[in-house]
Amino acid sequence: MAKLHRLIQRYKRSPGNSLLDVGCGTGGHIPYLSRHYQVEGLDMNPRMLKIARHKQPGIYFHKADMTRFDLKRKFDIVVSLFSAIGSVKTKSKLESSVRNMASHLRPGGVLIIEPWFTPEAFKRGTLHSLFVERPELRIARMNISRARPGVSILDVHYMVGTPRGIRYFNELLELGLFTRADYQKVLEGSRLTVHYDPAGLTGRGLYIGVVPVSRALSPP
């Protein structure tokens, strides 16, 4: 996350430090971001927001869809991390989401998007697993990656064990597979100056869009 802070400082031209975390989930990035910025979060999942509000009672969280939210104010930084942008699934919703996020930026503000895998990078038929071992907690997470045209499919299975018992549940995640050209097109279409960091925070890259200081974007 130190790299994210460095990138924001490198590209941001607006004088403020207000930040909106779009697709914030349970607020995992908020503790770090709030060290440097005046942070607000946004997500459409009420269960995740409940956890985020419990963990970060001093932060304001908005319940809204990234494709069409309107907070009637602008920020110096908007970020969408941990591949949350993939949840929109379609190119039309990718475009509306990016335009919407860009419209909430002040002149000189910066938009940073951590993408999901491109179609070429996503490996179909791969077995993935993750295990957590703590004194009174064991978690096993497994899935096999699948895809249909333009969409990756993760049928994720969990086993969670505590001294009170063992629970099993699963969730189906579908994330859009967008190309670099797709991201470049929608960012440029939102009148942003576009930069690309191929390494990013987790190896998936980062797209950085900057609003020209000479003009502001109108709300959606």
Q: Is 169 helix (H, G, I), strand (E, B) or coil?
A: strand
Q: Look up the CATH architecture of domain 2-116+178-210.
A: 3-Layer(aba) Sandwich (3.40)
Judged against a pLDDT cut of 70, whether residue 216 lies above it is answered with no
Average pLDDT, the chain: 94
Q: How confident is the model at residue 214 (pLDDT cuts 50, 70, 90)?
A: confident
Kindly report the pTM of this predicted structure. 0.91
pLDDT at residue 215, as a whole number = 53
Note the maximum CA span of the chain.
60
Could you report the per-residue pLDDT of 144-158, keeping only the tens digit for each?
A: 999 999 999 999 999
The DSSP call for residue 212 is -
Could you report the per-residue pLDDT of 10-56, keeping only the tens digit for each?
A: 999 999 999 999 999 999 999 999 999 999 999 999 999 999 999 99
127-176 placed in CATH 2.20.130.10: yes
Q: What is the mean pLDDT of residues 120-128?
A: 94
pLDDT at residue 22, as a whole number = 98
Please classify residue 32 by burial: count the beta carbons closer than 10 Å to its beta carbon, then call 0-12 exposed, 13-18 middle and 19+ buried.
Answer: middle
Rounded to whole angstroms, the Cα distance separating 214 from 83 reads 30
Pairing verdict, β 60-63 and 127-134: unpaired
Q: What are the residue boundaries of the structural domains of the chain, listed by start?
A: 2-116+178-210, 127-176
pLDDT at residue 220, as a whole number = 39
pLDDT at residue 100, as a whole number = 96
